[in-house]
Structure 1
Amino acid sequence: MGNQSSVSLQPEDIEKIGNETGFTASQIDRLYSRFTSLDKEQKGYLSREDFLRIPELAINPLGDRIVHAFFYESLEGTEDKVNFTDFVRVLAHFRPIEKQKKSDLVEGGGQNTPNSRMEKLHFAFRMYDLDGDEMISQNELLAVLSMMVGSNISQDQLVSIAQRTISEADTDKDGLISFEEFVQALEKTDVEQKMSIRFLS
Structure 2
Amino acid sequence: MGNASSMLTQYDIDEVQEHSGYLFSQQEIVALYKRFCQLDRNAKGFISADEFLSIPEFSLNPLSQRLQRMLDGLNFKDFVAFLSSFSQKASPQQKMELIFRVYDVDSKGRVNLKDLLEVLRDLTGSFMSEEQREQVLNHMLEEAGYMRDASLVFDDFVKILGKSGMKMEVEVPID
Q: TM-score category by the smaller chain? A: 0.7 to 0.9
Equivalent residue letter for 1:141: L
Superposition map of 1:75-94 within 5 A: 81-94=73-86
Taking structure 2 as the reference length, the TM-score comes to 0.86
Tell me, which stretches of 5 or more residues in structure 1 are unaligned? Answer: 72-80, 98-114
Which segment is superposed worse, 123-132 or 84-93?
Answer: 123-132
Residue 177 of structure 1 pairs with residue 152 of structure 2: yes
- Tell me, in whole angstroms, the C-alpha distance in 2 between the residues paired with 1:162 and 1:172: 10
Task: Give ranges in structure 2 of 5+ residues lacking alignment.
Answer: none
Residue 74 (structure 1) aligns with? none
Cα displacement (A) at 1:175: 1.6
Alpha-carbon displacement from aligned partner over 1:123-158 (angstroms, at most 9, x marks no partner): 111111111121111111111100001001111101
Equivalent in the alignment of 2:51: 50
Higher mean displacement: 6-15 or 136-145: 6-15
Aligned residue pairs, count: 169
Question: 1:25, 1:142 → 2: CA distance?
Answer: 40
Find the aligned partners of 2:148 and 2:119 in 1 and give their Cα distance. Answer: 21
Match of 1:108 in 2: none
Structure 2 CA distance for partners of 1:167 and 1:178, relative to 1, 3 Å: farther
Alpha-carbon offset, residue 190 of structure 1: 3.4
Q: Which has the higher contact order (CA 8 A, sep 6+)?
A: 2
What amino acid maps onto 1:177 in structure 2? L
Q: Does 1:19 align with 2:11?
A: no
Give the aligned CA root-mean-square deviation in angstroms.
2.2
Helix, strand or coil for the counterpart of 1:150? helix
2:171 aligned with 1:198, yes or no? yes
The separation in 2 between residues aligned to 1:171 and 1:25, in whole angstroms, is 44
Q: Which runs of 4+ in 1 moved over 4 A?
A: 170-174
Number of the residue aligned with 1:78 = none
Letter of the 1:122 partner, please give it.
Answer: E
Structure 1 partner of 2:104: 129
Identity of paired residues, percent? 33
TM-score w.r.t. length of structure 1 = 0.75
Distance 2:68 2:55 in 1: 10
Amino acid at match of 1:195: M
Contact 2:39 2:51 in 1 (8 A): yes
Q: Quick check: 1:61–1:147 contact (8 Å CA) kept in 2?
A: yes
